Amino acid sequence: MTIQLSVLDQSPLLKNETPKQALQQTIQLAKHVDQLGYKRFWMSEHHSTKSLAGSAPEMLIPAIAAQTEQIKVGTGGVLLPHYSPFKVAEQFRVLEALYPNRIDLGIGRAPGGMPGVNYALNRGKYPDVKNYPQQASLLIDYILGNDPEGYLVQATPMSETTPPVWMLGSSGASAHVAGELGTSYTFAQFINGDGGPAAVERYYHNFIPSPLQQEPEASIAVFVVVGDTEEEAEYLASSLDVALLMADQGQIREYFPEPEEASRQTFSHFEQQRIIENRNRMIVGSVESVKQQLEYMSRQFQVNEIIVNTIVSPFEKRLEAYEKLAQAFQLK
């Protein structure tokens, strides 16, 4: 099985850098991996999160698509419960008209931040995620040019091509919905380190052909840290260990931890156990080791596409990691 690699980027804010620099680094990374032969470049949506600059991925798509040549560009993903399905369909119809066959519409139902985000995005009301399957169904209808609610409207501009819809999730429930609606599906291993193979299998089992696609298509997204040696990889991964632990504890951080700081931190027994558990969300090692682990995941999950999310400091190490993986998997 030939494995295809893609990228998920969260525009992390590194120490002593500005949000502008973080966003510019995302664009620079997209141009880099486009030349290396990666298939997709997705951006996440996070709100009121100081250490991640990517709060509006749909705004970054045209900036990146305009400066790349072949790579597909998309969201990983639009947090649909906060938005009008009709408006999202129109946004991606515009993007598809500008960059035909290069846009991916990835959607999810997570809140994307602290509890207050839900109220701020919904004018003081808390969104009901139980309506997510219905919202996703409406979005699909609108993106296809239909009028599902009978309002005598159409999401414009209509063009010859339609962006594919990817449902992102970290549970069997999201996989089930993706299958029934006939979308593509990505399991977010970087969010939930357990249950992924079963979720993907559930997606395949429940897939119903749709106007979007006749065959199921699945991928997985995972944190990856690559070093020249196992020791360097562990050193670089210490930053991600600390960042994830702080997120689990509800701590607000201003920037992504540097490995010099993270590697010197001490932890309680409970924190050590949590760090070990979070390693299920990551692949860490030398490029040879990482390649073997990703190949195993491909077989385990029954997918031939893996979306790599690499957050390391400094930025140059992020560029190097994707270059090493491209060479290891002979992407070009």
Cα 218 from Cα 85, distance rounded (Å): 23
Q: Does the pLDDT value for residue 116 go beyond 80?
A: yes
Residue 251 lies in a domain: no
Cα 309 from Cα 52, distance rounded (Å): 13
At 185, the amino acid letter reads Y
Between the CA of residue 235 and those of 105, 112, 154, 247, 303, what are the distances in Å? 35, 28, 52, 20, 30
Residue 245 lies in a domain: no
At 224, the amino acid letter reads V
Residue 11 lies in a domain: yes
- Break the chain down into helix, strand, coil percent, rounded to 5: 45, 15, 35
**Structural domain total, the chain:** 1
- In this predicted structure, what is the pLDDT of residue 3? 97
Provide CB contacts within 8 A for 142, sequence distance 6+.
Answer: 85, 86, 88, 89, 90, 148, 155
User: What is the pTM for the complete model shown?
Assistant: 0.96
Residue 248 lies in a domain: no
- In this predicted structure, what is the pLDDT of residue 113? 66
Cα 24 from Cα 183, distance rounded (Å): 31
Residue 257 lies in a domain: no
Residue 13 lies in a domain: yes
How high does pLDDT run on average in the chain?
96
DSSP state of 151: S
pLDDT tens per residue, range 210-258: 999 999 999 999 999 999 999 999 999 999 999 999 999 988 889 999 9
Residue 269 lies in a domain: no
Residue 185 lies in a domain: yes
Domain of residue 295 covers 4-226+285-328
pLDDT tens per residue, range 143-184: 999 999 999 999 999 999 999 999 999 999 999 999 999 999
Q: Does the pLDDT value for residue 76 go beyond 70?
A: yes
What's the CATH number where 172 sits? 3.20.20.30
Q: Does the pLDDT value for residue 185 go beyond 90?
A: yes
